[in-house]
Amino acid sequence: MKTTFKIMEIINICALTFLLAGAYGIAITGALQVLAAFLFLILFPRNKFIYIYFSLVIFFFLIWDGEFTWLFLLPVALIFFLTFIIYNQKKKL
């Protein structure tokens, strides 16, 4: 469990560094963050925050029309929300 948690943390840190790449970085960050979220879901299926995270991700893709508008504030917020979820859980271990 600790090894998987460590891998999840590394994926999250890598995802955050891709933010520096601009628009392409957001797509890579999103993919890595969803991967980290799936690992988190496997490790901690009772954590309610991870279900909120996935609900917001699904909501974003349902209403996104393919343009870069104010709606892209949601993925940026999701990046920090998942980071909060991971490190908040780490404190409980």
Considering only residues 10 and 52, tell me which one the structure prediction assigns the higher pLDDT: 52
pLDDT level of residue 69 (50, 70, 90 thresholds)? confident
Instruction: Give residue 54's pLDDT.
Output: 97
Domain parsing of the chain, residue ranges: 2-92
Q: How many CB atoms lie under 10 A from the CB of residue 86?
A: 23
Locus of tokens 């699904």: 58
pTM here is: 0.84
Residue 74: CB partners within 8 Å, gap ≥ 6?
A: 56, 59, 60
pLDDT at 45 exceeding the cut of 80:
yes
pLDDT at 1 exceeding the cut of 80:
no
Report the first-to-last Cα separation within the chain, whole angstroms.
Answer: 11
Work out the percent of the chain whose per-residue pLDDT is above 90: 46
Average pLDDT of the chain to the nearest whole number: 88
The span from the CA of 48 to the CA of 85, in Å, is 10
How far does CA 21 lie from the centroid of its chain?
Answer: 17
